[in-house]
Structure 1
């Protein structure tokens, strides 16, 4: 099975090295690596260009976009793999066997989607775990309780995107939540929880950088559950409260 991994970059000079190395060092070799740059003004694009000379599996482009979800949509459109995964430029795969394990899980479980655990880590000290996002096996009722898998750990067959679409660009922060609700409510799709840390994510994402962003995220989450006809304001409350135990664990 061919795997397409997508990274969206914009002025990611300080982290792109760790991100790309985590992909290029995977034991699983049938990987197509798509990097979508938003016309970076630092050394990001130079680094990507230099890497592409040594690794022919890297496909990259640089053009203005409307934000990360637009860039990811462009990457998904370019993808030719059987399985598609996202590796954000501030993040990196947890170990060199991640993709091999995910592919084997797709084969063994006949799954449409596979997801796992995620570590939020300090930006500079990547050995310091700040928050531990542990998933669980999916049940439909979890959606009304505000549950979602850690999106950076979610790998999907390409035909899921082809049938159910990509990210809705009218959402500025919560397009991933809207997308997850859209596909996880489909009873014909099979999702499998892999109890393994798949991604290390540096803290400081767009949804929690400021009070304004937190309010916008909450409003967009509520809009997403209405659009997908799942839950109520109680769903959003439980969703936010449930995150607290991730810091403790």
Structure 2
């Protein structure tokens, strides 16, 4: 397909510690037909100053647009970004995440054709203190429409979708605390049956500690949100089927820990 305009939405709020990595990764993408929408929640730190410092790095083709005002949370801010978006294709890159390579975006967009409404890929998680080590590798390869009944979803920061799908099926429901992305994907993929394609590569680097990765309390809220999403959309699932994905997640984390252990051994000085 030709090079469509891609809108990348980044929600920020007091994100001075991490947003530069996000901006750098977008500015360095080899795909140029991009508008990067910074939707800020009235930050009181240096977030907006850092954003402006990076504006020259976007060059004469990429567009950086900034909006700052109080919001009702991250999903409300994402909805603001969707309303701002002018692109044919839309994706969301969080302010503490970044593209893993300079070709991440072009690889995703090249996967679109006339029979594809959305694409998605893999990502990996890191900790700030050891960004070189993978804590968990999230492979979207195992995802399928039916597996949404078990709580599976494609890695959301890698999900790029035609804007017309958002216009047709609606934006994020801000009544969901931490899993409005799952509910929105349930609407589009499970009920709406949009046509998706998996692209097998490591697309995004994601820091641990966000709204959906911050411990057992978060996991309990995710499960509550999932059950609420099933009921809202009249999808036949329950707590037992939804909990099955945690066994898969434990396997992903165990695999990452084995690799981490091997890397630590390799990094140790030889005797």
Task: Give the TM-score category using the shorter length.
Answer: over 0.9
Deviation at 1:188, TM superposition (A): 4.5
Find the aligned partners of 2:146 and 2:53 in 1 and give their Cα distance: 47
Larger radius of gyration: 2
Partner of 1:35, secondary structure, is: strand
Give the Cα separation in 2 of the matches to 1:235 and 1:95. 35
Match of 2:43 in 1: 40
State the shift of 1:137 in Å.
6.3
Match for residue 182 of structure 1 among 184, 187, 192: 187
Structure 2: which 5+ runs fail to align? 256-271
CA contact (8 A) 1:168 1:179 kept: yes
**Deviant stretches of 4+, over 6 Å:** none
Equivalent pairs counted in the alignment come to 248
Provide the C-alpha distance between the structure 2 equivalents of 1:110 and 1:32, rounded to a whole number of angstroms.
24
2:6 alignment partner in structure 1: 3
In structure 1, C-alpha distance between the alignment counterparts of 2:33 and 2:178, rounded to whole Å: 32
Match in the other structure for 1:101: 107
SS across alignment from 1:225: helix
Q: Could you tell me which runs of 5 or more consecutive residues in structure 1 were left unpaired when the two chains were aligned.
A: none
How far is the alpha carbon of 1:2 from its aligned partner?
A: 0.8
Contact kept? 1:137, 1:193, Cα under 8 Å: no
In the alignment, which residue of structure 2 is the partner of 1:79? 85
Once the two structures are TM-superposed, the CA of residue 208 in structure 1 deviates from its matched residue by 3.7
Q: What SS does the corresponding residue of 2:128 show, helix, strand or coil?
A: coil
Contact 1:118 1:133 in 2 (8 A): yes
How many Å separate the matches in 1 of 2:218 and 2:108?
33
Give the aligned partner of residue 193 of structure 1. Answer: 198
Mapping 1:1-249, distance limit 5 Å: 1-52=4-55, 55=58, 57-107=63-113, 110-136=115-141, 138-186=143-191, 188-230=193-235, 231-249=237-255
Q: Normalized against structure 1, the TM-score is what?
A: 0.94
Cα distance change on mapping 1:229 and 1:241 into 2, 3 Å: farther
* 1:48-107 Cα shifts (integer Å, max 9, x gaps): 123235536100011000111111110111000111011100000010001111111013
What SS does the corresponding residue of 2:70 show, helix, strand or coil?
Answer: coil
| Alignment CA distance shift 1:170-1:187 (3 Å) | closer
Aligned to 2:260: none
Distance 1:188 1:216 in 2: 26
Residues in 2 aligned to 1:97 and 1:79: alpha-carbon distance in whole angstroms: 22
State how far apart, in whole Å, the 2-side matches of 1:61 and 1:152 are. Answer: 21
C-alpha distance in structure 1 between counterparts of 2:122 and 2:39, whole Å:
25
